[in-house]
């Protein structure tokens, strides 16, 4: 007797699993996917399949790849602070010395 393999999961079911809320458990998502599969006349995904797909979807959401141009809020504030210096960018130190007659 041969080993049977699990059927392929339809893309609509995969989308449902990938967009499941973070607080939903694998069992709840399996029930939802099973209900949707029943209405679409598709084979129900197994708990194991749903758990693996759910783990994959959640791990990519929580660990995004940052683009090279990503700046933190502190870096943005530093750049904006430099650009809005009076009388011009990079001239604040010169202006302070000028005001106190140190030039």
74 pLDDT above the threshold of 90: no
Q: What is the pLDDT of residue 7?
A: 75
Give the relative orientation of helices 11-18 and 26-39 as an angle to the nearest 10 degrees.
150
Taking only the tens place, the pLDDT of each residue in 27-53 is: 999 999 999 999 999 999 999 999 999
What pLDDT is recorded for position 69? 64
pTM: 0.54
Q: Chain-wide mean pLDDT for the chain? A: 83
* Residue 9 to residue 6: CA distance in whole angstroms: 9
Contact 91, 98 (CB under 8 A): no
Q: What is the mean pLDDT of residues 10-39?
A: 91
Q: Which phi and psi angles does 75 have, rounded to 5°?
A: -65, -40
């Amino acid at each position: 007797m041969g080993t049977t393999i699990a059927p392929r999961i339809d893309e609509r079911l995969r989308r449902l699993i990938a967009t499941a809320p973070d607080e939903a458990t694998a069992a709840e998502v399996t029930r939802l996917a099973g209900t949707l599969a029943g209405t679409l006349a598709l084979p129900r995904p197994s708990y194991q399949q749903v758990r693996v797909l759910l783990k994959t979807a959640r791990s990519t959401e929580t660990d995004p790849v940052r683009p090279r141009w990503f700046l933190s809020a502190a870096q943005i504030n530093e750049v904006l602070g430099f650009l809005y210096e009076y009388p011009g960018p990079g001239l604040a130190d010169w202006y302070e010395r000028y005001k106190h007659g140190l030039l």
